[in-house]
Copies of this chain bind each other. A is one copy, B any other.
């Protein structure tokens, strides 16, 4: 399955289902997970449907011992090579563009080689 083909809602839902499976694999109840994560049971319930604040989702991942895996997904942001050449000393804090007229913020996301 291609996660990138899903709608935002469907993607969030998929993440919720994976969280649920992880809980079941650990064989703990929603109530127990809620207690460990320091959130209400309702949060667990709706998180498993993908409807949850990122912070609460994070709390659940931590409680399940899954937090470290996040490094694989959004790896600690290295600075892109293109920028590396540009930046002299300081790191970029804003998106740029040519200055004329107004803007062409890099029209399409650079597919192909990961930008970092």
Q: CB within 8 Å of B: which residues of A? A: 1-4, 6, 8-9, 11-12, 15-30, 32, 37-38, 47, 50-59, 61-77, 79-80, 82-83, 92-97, 103, 105-106, 109-111, 115-116
Contact = CB atoms under 8 A, between A and B. Distances in A.
Query: A-side binding surface: helix, strand, loop or mixed?
Result: helix
A79 to B, nearest CB: 7
Contacts of A50: 54-55, 58
Contact of A24 (B16, B26, B92): B92
A38 B106 CA distance: 17
Given A11-B55, A25-B79, A25-B80, 19 more contacts: A8-B38, A8-B59, A11-B58, A11-B67, A12-B54, A12-B55, A15-B58, A17-B77, A18-B76, A21-B79, A22-B77, A24-B92, A28-B105, A29-B94, A29-B95, A50-B54, A51-B55, A69-B73, A69-B74
